[in-house]
Amino acid sequence: MRIVGDPPTSEEFPSQADAESWLGEQRSLLASGVARVTLSHDGRAVYGPMSLDAP
């Protein structure tokens, strides 16, 4: 699983659960200017883009 941000940033994980857990802890992404992310697997979007702004 890979999380790709906009502006570009990327992290890889062994599972979707690991990726989602990591993302939930990364409030610094929004602070560094990443506005949304997409979770992908083998180059295919699993979901996203997802806004990092609080609802």
Any idea where the domains of the chain sit in the sequence? 2-50
* Greater model confidence, 7 or 2: 2
Query: Does the pTM exceed 0.85?
Result: no
The residues near 36 (Cβ < 8 Å, ≥ 6 apart) are 5, 6, 48, 49, 50, 51, 52
49 alpha-carbon distance from chain centroid? 8
In 1-55, where does DSSP find H-type helix? 16-24, 27-31
pLDDT digits (tens, 9 = 90+) for 3-38: 777 767 778 889 888 888 887 777 778 888 888 888
Q: How far apart are CA 34 and CA 15, in angstroms?
A: 22
Question: Which of 16, 55, 32, 15 lies closest to 5 in space, CA to CA?
Answer: 32
